[in-house]
Structure 1
């Protein structure tokens, strides 16, 4: 028997006493079922909370009204997927939640599939797949409020699978998968672009793998990627300022220093982001494997060198962004495409040091379960205890009650709302009514023949309706409607102390 066969038998014997661990050791399918149950529970927890939306959810709800080649600072892939779900099952909290967790499940599954290309043992693929739970960006943060980030994580895992498959088998399917992943990644988040560049450099540095870059089938990669990216690229050509302003704004602090002080601060934020991204994973592996972990730091092979070089080049790219732009802060979210391979890298280092990592699956299962349970608590806990702690979330906003009060006065044909969060929530509460964000109207929406009264204009104003309404109504000016006097609406937060209220101003145009 070879080393892998002996290792597999030894792993099965050690894992067998733990029923769940034994089930998960079966490979990708059992691990996917396990994670699928976790994500179904995640959806259920979200649906149990009030029918109000977080900021990202509100954005998706609003943008689901129309199909565009670009929507603003973020590329459109997630919006397109979201719109497809809404087109099929309608706008609801469920249809806004489902795509995120399906993409997240695919991210885990593609990652496990990528690991299987390197090591065919079922337990190893499952171990690699589940180890993503140790990354807060893959476990904790998606439970809060992520959309586009989840899409780029899925694209990154798909890219790793396509890359590894191409290096192992060099079949045309691998080249197509890489192109598909690059296309999806580039229209998920722009920072994905550094990942294929880092992979290109890492593969080029291996003498044998270098031939994969000269294979004519790499044209399939280019064609598939270009076809996916082209519609948004054409839009981006004419909307570059709109697409980049929001991203650059998030990376530059107000009143930021200049020169060397800015660079030092930005590099410091990069170091902190790296720690925030991977410290928990490294700590869990170090505690679980102890001396073996320290010994593994000196071990490696061409696969660990590939992953290390990819991560290093990706981070080097971020440093270049810092040096040549006005960037002052980097968050761990920006590092997702570059550091996602970290758990697999650590597992491979341990394997190359002679450690059978699959034999430790039973020890890791309680860690995975605890992470799953803990990550479900914060959003629900903060929402349900808002009245006790004073720490409210946007989910505490009483938008369902707001809708009931407004419907008692009439049914609007169009809603003009001030701000993304308010507009998205109005879209959820009035699913058959076109909603316009007064701060970012979309040209041609609603269609001219659909624009009619009555129009409901609504804004957040602290309960003060006096004076001129703080909302731009130019998008409905051509209708020639007459505005009623502005009114105030104040309702207590859900699960609040009865004192904290959502204060809105509104008026009707008839």
Structure 2
């Protein structure tokens, strides 16, 4: 079989497998049914209409989800479909970009390496939303960059600008990739032509439109920067960045360790002399990942950040694995490649089994039965106009049952969608800690006087039995 025919065969097989796998995951979620998961509930409550911003996260996922809701209705199917499309886009976008400079076999093995990251295989399917769309836009950005580098046309650079524009409203850490990739391309002579061109001015002119959503951020800092506290910036004499760097390093190690072990086993089973190597492409990813690692270290130190979440390290981990795959794939025999694919298939089966268990175990969020909650709330609030405020999980699932009710999450915008003074505050797992904190999170930070109308607890049964989910509540009437 010629190399061209082999490339076509691998491309068809890869696309078919990716589409079938994520279609299967969507069907699995629909079969599981039940209550919305945490991120699904958040998207249900955080899509009241098109706006430049909704809260701490950038608005792209909300916009897309709202569009799908308009087409298909507010349903679990609409939520699961968009998630499946975005997850498939991560792998297909990366494959498409790498195919412009690498054989289909190397591009497919690099994409498979992403799936070998347990977080990518499991958590992105189970819980994440904005991280998922950021990774999808990163893959599409890479594809646009390689198209621009190869074709050098105005259309290609316009597409590059559009992916940067859209990616810029997906998640803040999207920008690490374009900055580091452009710097790496400037450093490497083989890629310098892609960025040392007047045509690059077109993408930068296009992303100037970001002043619209970013301007909303500056005008609504309480909402836009509500998550800044997550990084635990140091306020003490002892710097906390050492802990932040340690957490970042451990996160990267935990993500790449399993794929590295699988690659090591695959090479042990089958190694061959390098064939169809792409050193320039591999070098670009190596430099980009090195620059990103340096940028993250500088950012942690300057911010004195003591808390670095593992999923923030996904872009760096992915770049490292793609770089590794591009160096090693040409040296992997068919036998070794088969080992790698078998490992991915086994992991896919484990993921399906794990998701099924997680959604059916006692006390699973999906298993909570919200059907009785509206009637329980009506008994407490009566006919009075009442704003219901709860965490994302409860408010999103309640909105599913009461689409016309006045329901809000614990964000400052809750205050501005309610004209009355009666507010029902629902707590879960002792969060918020008390009424004062609940009112502050909902936007009434300066309120000192309120009347407690009623207190108690709602009880939601689990479909599979066990102790019910207790939701303490406080009904308050605020001073006018």
Same fold per TM (> 0.5)?
A: yes
Q: Is the 8 A contact 1:62 1:423 kept in 2?
A: yes
* Pairing 1:316-355 to 2, within 5 Å after superposition: 316-351=294-329, 355=331
Q: Which residue of 2 aligns with 1:235?
A: 216
- Aligned ranges for residues 136-155 of structure 1 at < 5 Å? 136-155=118-137
Q: Does residue 358 of structure 2 align to residue 382 of structure 1?
A: yes
The yes-or-no answer on 1:166 pairing with 2:148 is yes
- Measure the CA separation in 2 of the matches of 1:329 and 1:507: 35
| 1:72 shift after superposition | 1.9
Contact kept in structure 1, 2:282 and 2:326, CA below 8 Å: yes
State whether residues 101 and 278 of structure 2, in contact with CA within 8 Å, keep that contact through their aligned partners in structure 1.
Answer: no
2-structure distance, mates of 1:324, 1:201: 21
What secondary structure, in the 3-state scheme, does the structure 1 residue paired with 2:252 have? helix
Instruction: Say whether 1:459 aligns with 2:421.
Output: no
Which position in structure 1 is the counterpart of 2:347? Answer: 371
- What residue in structure 2 maps to residue 110 of structure 1? 93
Q: Unaligned regions of 5+ residues in structure 2, if any? A: 445-450
Secondary structure, aligned partner of 1:398:
coil
The 8 Å contact of residues 127 and 358 in structure 1, kept in 2 or not, is answered as no
Q: Is contact 2:412-2:443 (8 Å) kept?
A: no
SS at match of 1:72: coil
Query: 1:95 aligned to 2:78?
Result: yes
Given candidates 58, 69, 74, the residue that maps to 1:86 is 69
Q: Alignment partner for residue 463 of structure 2, among 483, 494, 505?
A: 494
Distance 1:116 1:462, change over 3 A: closer
Displacement of 1:186: 1.9
Residue from 37, 51, 65 that aligns with 2:48: 65
Q: For residues 38-437 of structure 1, what are the structure 2 equivalents within 5 Å? A: 38-119=21-102, 121-227=103-209, 229-240=210-221, 242-246=223-227, 248-252=228-232, 258-259=237-238, 262-290=240-268, 301-351=279-329, 355=331, 360-386=336-362, 392-403=363-374, 415-437=387-409
Q: Does the 8 A contact of 2:190 with 2:280 survive in 1? A: no
CA distance in 2, matches of 1:404, 1:40: 36
In 2, distance between residues paired with 1:175 and 1:287?
40
1:88-136 per-residue CA deviation (whole Å, 9 max, x = no partner) reads 22212222222122111111110110110112x4444433333321122
Q: Deviations over 1:384-409 (max 9, x none)?
A: 222xxxxx333233213324655799
Equivalent residue number for residue 448 of structure 2: none
Kept in 2, the 8 Å contact 1:51–1:399? The answer is no
Contact residue 397 and residue 502 of structure 1 kept, 8 A: no
How many equivalent residue pairs? 463
Distance in 2, Cα, partners of 1:456 & 1:94 = 32
SS at match of 1:493: coil
Q: 2:447 corresponds to which residue?
A: none
Structure 1 48/411 Cα, relative in aligned 2: closer, same or farther at 3 Å?
Answer: farther
Question: Any idea what SS the aligned residue of 1:137 has?
Answer: helix
Distance in 1 of aligned mates of 2:206 and 2:128:
27
- Contact preservation (8 Å) 1:57, 1:96: yes
> After alignment, is 321-330 or 400-409 more displaced?
400-409
With 424-433 and 309-318 compared, the bigger mean Cα shift is at: 424-433
Give, in whole Å, the separation in 2 of the partners of 1:412 and 1:36.
Answer: 50
Q: Measure the CA separation in 2 of the matches of 1:90 and 1:415.
A: 24
Q: 1:408 and 1:331, CA in 2 relative to 1: closer, same or farther beyond 3 A? A: closer
Give the TM-score of the pair, scaled to structure 2: 0.84
Q: Which moves more between the two structures, 125-134 or 300-309?
A: 125-134
Deviations 1:171-224 (A, max 9, x none): 233322322222222211111222111111101112243233232221221133
User: In the alignment, is the contact (CA less than 8 A) between 1:418 and 1:439 conserved in 2?
Assistant: no
Per-residue Cα deviation, 1:478-510 (whole angstroms, up to 9, x for no partner): xxxx9975564323323242x34333447699x
Change (3 A) 1:282 1:171: farther
Matched, 1:440 2:412: yes
Give the whole-Å Cα distance in 1 for the aligned partners of 2:9 and 2:376.
54
- Note if contact 2:388-2:424 (Cα within 8 Å) is conserved in structure 1: yes
Note if contact 1:85-1:99 (Cα within 8 Å) is conserved in structure 2: yes
Q: Distance in 2 between matches of 1:213 and 1:461?
A: 51
What TM-score does the superposition give when structure 1 sets the normalisation length? 0.79
Seen in structure 2, the aligned counterparts of structure 1 residues 488 and 279 have a Cα distance that, compared at 3 Å, is closer
RMSD over aligned CA atoms reads: 3.6
